[in-house]
Amino acid sequence: MAPHIISAVKGAEVDVIKPVRALISVSDKTGIVDLAKFLSEQGCELLSTGGTAAAIRKAGLECKDVSEHTQSPECLDGRVKTLHPKIHGGILAVRGNAQHEQDMADNGIGAIDITIVNLYAFEATVAKGGEFAECIENIDIGGPSMVRSTAKNHAFTTIVTSPEQYQEVIDSIKEKGGTTLALRKRFAARAFATTAAYDSAIASYFSNQLGTEAPVVTKVYKPEYPLKYGCNPQQKPAGILSGMGKELPFSVVNGKPGYINLLDAAGAYQLVKELKDATGIAAATSFKHCSPAGCALAVPLTPTECQAYEVTEADAAALTPAALAYVRARNADPMCSFGDFAAISEIVDKDTAMYLKKEVSDGIIAAGYTDEAVEILSQKKSGNFIILKATEGYTPPNEEYREVWGMTMMQKRNDVIVSNEHVKDENVVTKRKIDDEVKRDMILASITLKYTQSNSVGFAKGGQMIGIGAGQQSRVDCVKLAGRKVCTWALRQHPDVLALKFKEGSKRQDRVNARVRYIEGDFTAEEKTRWEANFAEVPKPLTAEAKAEYMAAFNGVVLSSDAFFPFRDNLDHASKYGVEYIVQPGGSVADKGITECADEYNMAMAMTGVRLFHH
């Protein structure tokens, strides 16, 4: 074929260019044969190298080797294949530039109109634990050079760097007769981001090898979609980005999630997934403002819990594990769960969707959904209920980066999952020991705190969190805050609370709120009048003596702390809430005194050695 030159006005941009010669060199061969076949059918000459050329020829297509095109053999074990004037000249020539056209004619350079390249899998080699020399050998040189050259000359050439772009190229040629300038500009922007991310991965690898001597760390992000605003309406613009070449940990099934929704979804799903991995039991959580309001495992409900949660015993017996876990999670603290973001470790089924349908909730993230569940949940909030599906097999990066006030902080991801290994018998430091059910609740409480804003403590009983104290500067204040929630949870099962007679047609959330206020009892005169309007029969007050008597018999509670207890006042206060078991990291000079305090109260205490601060 004669040298191919497209005529154009010097310096002008050409809108639609039909590819006449394509250069193809891909490591990921997904869909490449179909694209090559289409280009060939359009009369486009195919140039290629190595395995890509073999794959194209195997499909029965004509394909010229790059070495034949350049009249220069590959050399240096394939390190030099495309680094040649007939390649880069064909890519970089400005169409319509008389000098460029003369140079091309003098040197036998034919124009290359479309370059289809994806790069050596450097990161995959690193991830497999390749030796340093092997990783270095997998640094692509020719590929990024072709990508950058084509992207620079996007006024006349098309750079394609991902299989996901192939169909858009095909559609453009079918509809427009070639690639449009708008498409070429977009693809060029993507191409430069691709090479930046590639170089970033190599730079990061070298930095990790050098340790503290690392000269620079680079990160490249791809905008995925914009958000209405950030944490507050005045914080615009806002959006979600992914690491270049990386997938997001979720996909949107329905609705438009906001900034805080996605922060809640991220913490919530990690929490339930780790609980399922650690216990083998379905898990659910009810998240609000970056901390769990409730969290639970699919442990059967007691008859009294059924009454308190407004679930008939027959319905409770029929609940699937996903539904059961969420019923428990939502009822840990139903006032705080109002307007929550739910997460479930399982496939969400009809049962779970029907339960969630009647609750005031912003959205859910789960392992997946049945078609029935999606149909039911999509109707919530006038069709705006947020449904996110967790990406199956998603592996988060080992390092986390966070930008705050012009600083970028980096840390290793907290990938420790508290398990039976952390609460084994050897880790119990008190005279009293623990059984398997207690270990289960210790794991539940500890993993819950891993995703709770610190300082934090949590109380668990029967496979369910029943009180969470988050974000307090003083640890004993965490205990007091969570302890108050424990009292409320327990007293919701008091006979007088279960016997409350509400007016016919009262709303579920109004009943929830009225019960809590009945337990608290600290009404203003105006509030009491409005509270009494909820009832067909106004109840007598729940006296302090009645509450104290009920709580005195309350026991079997596990208390977890995200860091060590510095003073015994934490245990002294916890003893008021039926705490018999404690799990904490330990590691304080006060450990001996705290252990002695636990023994005084006949509490069993395990020390995991794992601090779980979360900020």
Q: Residue 289 catalytic?
A: yes
Pair of tokens at residue 206: 């070298």
Cα separation of the two ends of the chain? 64
**Distance in angstroms (rounded) separating the CA atoms of residues 180 and 190:** 15
Write down the residue that tokens 């339960």 correspond to: 355
**Distance in angstroms (rounded) separating the CA atoms of residues 150 and 191:** 9
349: left (phi over 0), alpha (psi -120 to 50) or beta: beta
**Distance in angstroms (rounded) separating the CA atoms of residues 554 and 556:** 7
Pair of tokens at residue 105: 């004619």
Q: Residue 450 catalytic?
A: no
Whether the CB-CB separation of 158 and 185 falls below 8 Å is answered with no
Among the options 222, 289, 381, 573, which is catalytic? 289
In 3D space, the residue among 537, 573, 543, 574 whose CA is nearest the CA of residue 559 turns out to be 574
- 558-586 burial: b if 16+ Cβ within 10 Å, else e: bbbbbbbbeebebbeebbbbbbbbbbbbb
DSSP letter at 350? H
Dihedral sign from CA coordinates of 159, 161, 165, 170: positive
Among the options 152, 185, 357, 381, which is catalytic? 152
**Long-range own/partner contacts, residues 227-233 (CB < 8 A, 24 or more apart):** 227/257, 227/258, 227/259, 227/262, 228/256, 228/258, 229/258, 229/259, 230/259, 231/259, 231/260
Residue 361, judged by CB atoms within 10 A of its CB (0-12, 13-18, 19+), counts as buried
- Which residues are annotated as catalytic? 152, 289
